[in-house]
Structure 1
Amino acid sequence: MSHRNDALRAARLRAGWRTVEAAAAALQAHGQRLLDDAHFTVAPRTWRRWEGRQEQRGWPPEETAQVLHDALGRWPEDLGFPTPAGWIRPERQYEDQVERRTFITVTAAALVPGPVEPQHVDPALIDYFQSQLEGHYRADMFLGPHDLIGTVSEQYRLIDKLVRSARGETRRGLLRVGAAYAALVGWLYQDAGDLGAASFWRGVTQEIAVRSRDPHLIAYSLVNQAQVRTDLGDGHGVIDLCEAALDDSDHLVPKVRIMAMQQQAHGASLTGDRPTVDRLIDTANGLIHRVDDDLPWGNACRRTPGYLEVQRATCYGRLGLAHEAGLLWSQILDAVPSTARRDRGVYLARQATAAAAGREPDQALEIARSAAGIAVETRSVRLARELATLERAMRPWQDAVVGRDLAEILAPVTEGA
């Protein structure tokens, strides 16, 4: 078992400091400039101790911690140092304030205080909001999440306001379309890396779906919740939610059944169950030709080329089946349109990880070049996390030229994240 401080070592290499001596000299020079103190020093033996056994590292003095953060973008506890009792990151209070403001913003878009002024609600508004959904789905593929969250959440806010005045079937129709909008906002937050906000909006989706009394939407909302559990690595939670969605599967449209089965396959991959992964995806594949509903939501299986094989390849990657996953990603990427930038980037990152797991680091590096560019462009945290997974898979080569080149390629993604 290695006792090296791999986190600090990786940060050093990303900064271009190839040796301990170079790192100590660079940090010392950085600290002297930052603190305006010519006496600030970092000796090579000190850095060597930092990268050594945990019990020998100690905790750097406060000024040194600030210099490390300024130079490497991380506080000592993120660089492998054992955190002392009572240490509070200097920016933590600010982060708490930002998180609080973000939470207030997220909830304000979903929870409009009432009562609201009654107004006439024309049934044609249902078609209006439904027609906007497809455009939002396409824009998400082109732009990524950040530029859409505000627009879509504001439209949900308007729908929620109209629901309070609408009656009868108009109200039911607005509830149905409102659930679709809430689901999209949840997905956008999930793609942006904010699982707390994503989970909140998935809960809103489920509430609105239940109020609509639409069994297809209720099952869809459970699959939405399962997506968050997948990102949290909770395989059993994913399976529970998808099994609940499929409890009355004979009465669900094929599209919803496909969505629940493929998500359940992700849960099975998280629990190491390959036979169940293949069984679920094969069963879902047998339903694809029956998808013929006109529901405006949940149409990824129609829009995404090779939709179910994408899920299979992703599951194979989790299961450590590098060769099988790599072959599938090669076939899938041949069919992905250039306009689907974010999705293409995610698939490339997963293909690169499969190459690394198959001990083909040079191939992984070449694939990563394209994926990193898309990550910077779209600002997708989901894609950035896939590249972080690739970085971990490439650790056996971190001291080789290919490892240093990868660190350089991924540096803009790390800085952006």
Structure 2
Amino acid sequence: MSSNDVLKAARLKRGWRSGEDAARGVSAAGREALDDPRFEVSARTWRRWESSRPGWPREDCAVALRAAFGRWPEDLGFDPPVDWIGIERRSEEPVDRRAFVSVTAAALSAGPPVPRHVDPALIGYFQEQLEGHYRADMLLGPHDLIGTVSAQYELIDRLVRAAKGETRRGLLKVGAAYAALVGWLYQDAGDLGAAAFWRGMTQEVAMRSRDAQLIGYSLVNQAQVRTDLGDGWGVVDLCEAALEAPRSLAPKVRVMAMQQQAHGASLVGDRMAVDRLLDEAAGLLNRVDDELPWGNACRRTPGYLEVQRATCYGRLGLGAEASALWTQVLDHVPMTARRDRGVYLARHAAAAAKAEEPEHAFEIGREAAQIAVETGSARMRRELTALERVMRPWHDAPVGRELAQALAPVNERE
């Protein structure tokens, strides 16, 4: 595993969305269990614990973890030293570690369904709420919405267990859309582990709904996480799977799969495939006319496919071509779409740097940095980190020092 997924699962189950939340929660549990008002677990320590090499916690930290999660460290993804006696100190029956390897606990509620009548009108209600959440995401960002949307998913999950027939199937469909949105919110917040978990939930619920459109959409969702992980062939595999039966797919789902596959192609250095896939997707855009409540970025986002092409060209190192495309795209992005605008500006700045235009890159990057500070977007911070890498040849020049000064407030938030 690339991270301590067992500990991450326990964190998500407790409702702690970030390492900082978990560090505060375990600190509070430890102060009470140890009767030590000075006990503290730092966010830096928690990040190490969730890494692929978490080490072994001190005795007082082990007690705090036990107090917070009801499990000793060896059941939370840590490898115990030979002299560890935690197993002799347990008061509860052993926990099957295999049950926690996959990050599933956060979205699952235990117990049999409670018998109740489930009104079919609830399907429409949740669909209307979903559209509102999409709009709120553009205005608020992920952190203020994760709790609300995931709680609604859990309510839908409980209703699915009690519903029957077409009502149950309809709730499964809307539940998959909610799980996909939570996955996106976590991805935007920079927690790729939680994003991958919720993308997995999306795929599970889509499969249960037997809906071909949702199954294709869920595969594209999985591919988005693979894109952020830099796994180009993984992206291609998932998108090709989504497109195996194109005639059964709505044009919107085909557009989504093709543009995401283009990102995978850019990660493996295949420009011809990037252009072919995006050109094919462009030919389908005017046929997107369904009423499905999810996946409507291709209709909402100005210059949707130009955004994808510019991003792919930037990855391919085509600085001048990417920069020209970003100039066109940004002319049509409304000022209200602050986070998208900030991400696009950061990518534009990186493209300008690759085109050997460091002063232009600095001017664009400075505006992106201001938006990053205002919004706290992890996605934007990642793009600005990429800009810093591209600007390294000028780090000792005045423009490089000015960029470092402009990015300092962004880096302080990490």
- Normalised by the length of structure 1, the TM-score is 0.76
Indicate which of 363, 367, 372 corresponds to 1:370: 367
Letter aligned with residue 114 of structure 1: G
Matches of 1:140 and 1:190 in 2, distance apart?
A: 13
Letter aligned with residue 405 of structure 2: E
Cα offset, 1:110, TM superposition: 1.0
Aligned equivalent of 1:245: 242
Letter aligned with residue 224 of structure 1: N
Once the two structures are superposed, residues 291-350 of structure 1 have per-residue CA deviations (whole angstroms, 9 ceiling, x without a partner) of 010000000000000001100000000000000000000000000011111110000000
Change (3 A) 1:74 1:358: farther
Change (3 A) 1:74 1:356: farther
Letter aligned with residue 232 of structure 1: L
Letter aligned with residue 319 of structure 2: A
Aligned equivalent of 1:318: 315
Aligned equivalent of 1:308: 305
Letter aligned with residue 396 of structure 1: P
8 Å Cα contact 1:348-1:367 kept in structure 2: yes
SS, match of residue 269 in structure 2: coil
Aligned equivalent of 1:54: none
Once the two structures are superposed, residues 187-244 of structure 1 have per-residue CA deviations (whole angstroms, 9 ceiling, x without a partner) of 1111111111011001000000000000000010000000011111111010000000
Aligned equivalent of 1:352: 349
Letter aligned with residue 223 of structure 2: A
The percentage of aligned residue pairs carrying the same residue is: 72
Cα offset, 1:123, TM superposition: 0.5
Letter aligned with residue 249 of structure 2: L
Once the two structures are superposed, residues 72-130 of structure 1 have per-residue CA deviations (whole angstroms, 9 ceiling, x without a partner) of x999xx9xxxxxx999899xx79x969979x99x8554101111322111001000000
Matches of 1:86 and 1:328 in 2, distance apart?
A: 43
8 Å Cα contact 1:109-1:154 kept in structure 2: no
| Superposition pairs of residues 77-226 of structure 1, within 5 angstroms | 107-226=104-223
SS, match of residue 162 in structure 2: coil
User: 2:384 matched to 1:387?
Assistant: yes
SS, match of residue 164 in structure 1: helix
Matches of 1:378 and 1:212 in 2, distance apart?
A: 36
Cα offset, 1:408, TM superposition: 1.1
Matches of 1:407 and 1:351 in 2, distance apart?
A: 17
Aligned equivalent of 1:14: none
8 Å Cα contact 1:153-1:182 kept in structure 2: yes
8 Å Cα contact 1:262-1:311 kept in structure 2: yes
User: 2:275 matched to 1:269?
Assistant: no
Aligned equivalent of 2:397: 400
Aligned equivalent of 2:293: 296
Matches of 2:44 and 2:119 in 1, distance apart?
A: 54
User: Which deviates more, 114-123 or 157-166?
Assistant: 114-123
Matches of 1:115 and 1:413 in 2, distance apart?
A: 47
Q: Which has the higher contact order (CA 8 A, sep 6+)?
A: 1
Change (3 A) 1:413 1:217: same
Matches of 1:89 and 1:212 in 2, distance apart?
A: 43
Cα offset, 1:159, TM superposition: 0.3
Unaligned segments of structure 2, at least 5 residues: 1-41, 70-75, 78-99
Cα offset, 1:284, TM superposition: 0.2
Aligned equivalent of 1:334: 331
Matches of 1:388 and 1:228 in 2, distance apart?
A: 18
- Normalised by the length of structure 2, the TM-score is 0.76
Matches of 1:341 and 1:253 in 2, distance apart?
A: 30
Unaligned segments of structure 1, at least 5 residues: 1-69, 79-84
Matches of 2:328 and 2:366 in 1, distance apart?
A: 19
Matches of 2:373 and 2:105 in 1, distance apart?
A: 29
Letter aligned with residue 401 of structure 1: P
Change (3 A) 1:177 1:74: closer
Matches of 1:283 and 1:416 in 2, distance apart?
A: 41
8 Å Cα contact 1:191-1:380 kept in structure 2: yes
Once the two structures are superposed, residues 166-186 of structure 1 have per-residue CA deviations (whole angstroms, 9 ceiling, x without a partner) of 011000000000000000000
Indicate which of 237, 256, 259 corresponds to 2:253: 256
Aligned equivalent of 2:39: none
User: Which deviates more, 137-146 or 123-132?
Assistant: 137-146
Count residues in correspondence: 333
Matches of 1:171 and 1:413 in 2, distance apart?
A: 45
8 Å Cα contact 1:235-1:271 kept in structure 2: yes
Matches of 2:167 and 2:328 in 1, distance apart?
A: 45
SS, match of residue 117 in structure 1: coil
Matches of 1:325 and 1:389 in 2, distance apart?
A: 15
SS, match of residue 153 in structure 1: helix
